[in-house]
Amino acid sequence: MSALKNGEFTKVEVDGHILTVTISRPEVMNAVHPMVSQEMSTIFDVFAADPDLWIGIVTGAGDRAFSAGNDLKYHAELRAKSGARPASPPSGFGGLSNRHDLDKPLIAAVNGVAMGGGFEIALACDIIIASDKARFALPEPRLARQIPLKKAMGMMLTGRHVPASEGYELGFVTAVVPHVDLMKEARRWADMILECSPMSIRATKQVVTRSLDVSVLEAGMKNMRYPAYVALVNSEDTIEGPKAFAEKRKPNWKGR
C-alpha cells in the first residue's frame, strides 16, 4: 500500500480499496488555490498508481461547501504582488480537471456549495452524490457534455444557483440524500462498485470516456483494443467471475 498522508489543505483516508479525499479549507468554503491543486494532484497520482486503491471519493470539509471554486482572494493578492496568475499542475484545477487518463472510478460527495472550479471538480468525477443542502453554480464547458445543451447553456449564461434536486432532474447528479446521510450514501455506491471486478470497472470507464469523441462505429472497432479491455481479458478476474458464478458464491476479485 502506498503511503498517503494528510496535507496542509487536504485530508486522506484509506479504507480497504477506497480512498476518501477531503478538501480541507472550511474557513474559505474550501476554495482552491494552487497549493490545494498540487496536493490533490499528488494524491491522485498515488491513487492512480496504487494497485490496491480501486475507488476514490472526493468531498469538502464542513457543512457549507464542497468547494467554492477558485480562491479569488489569493488570486487577487498574487496578481497585486507579482502580476502573475496562479498556476495549476498539469492535472488541472483541483488535480482533476485535466486528468483524462484516470481509469479508476471517482465519486463526488457534494456536501454544500459547488461553484465554478468546485463544480468542475465534481463534474470530473464519474458519480455525483449530493446532499439535499448542495447547490451548484457557474459551471464550465464540461457540463455541456453531460446534460442537454440548452439546459447547460441556461445555467452557464445566467450564473444561477441550482439545488441538488434540480441537478438530479437535469441529469448531472446521480443521487440526492439527506445531508446527514451523504457520506454513508457515497460509501454505499462505492461498495456497489466493489462488488464488480476492478478490471471490468476500469475497462468500462476507459471505453466510455475514450469513445465520447468518436463515432459509434469507430468506438465499436476500437473498444477491443483499449488497454484496460486487453488487461481485463487477460486477467485473473476474468477467470474468477465465471468460476464464482458456477460455484454460486461471491467472486474474490484480485484486480489483476
Instruction: Given the residues 8, 13, 120, 236, select the one marked as catalytic.
Output: 120
Instruction: Given the residues 13, 27, 77, 140, select the one marked as catalytic.
Output: 140
H helical segments located in 91-246: 117-123, 149-156, 164-170, 182-194, 198-211, 216-223, 227-233, 236-246
Grid cell 457515497 — which residue? Answer: 186
Residues 113 and 107: beta-carbon distance below 8 Å: no
Q: Which of 130, 209, 133 is nearest to 174 (CA)?
A: 130
Q: Determine if residue 16 is left, alpha or beta; phi over 0 gives left, psi from -120 to 50 gives alpha, anything else beta.
A: left
Helix (H) or strand (E) holding 18: strand 18-23
Task: Clarify whether 120 is annotated catalytic.
Answer: yes
| 3-state SS, one letter per residue, for 171-198 | CCCCEEECHHHHHHHHHHHHHHHHCCCH
Active site residues: 120, 140
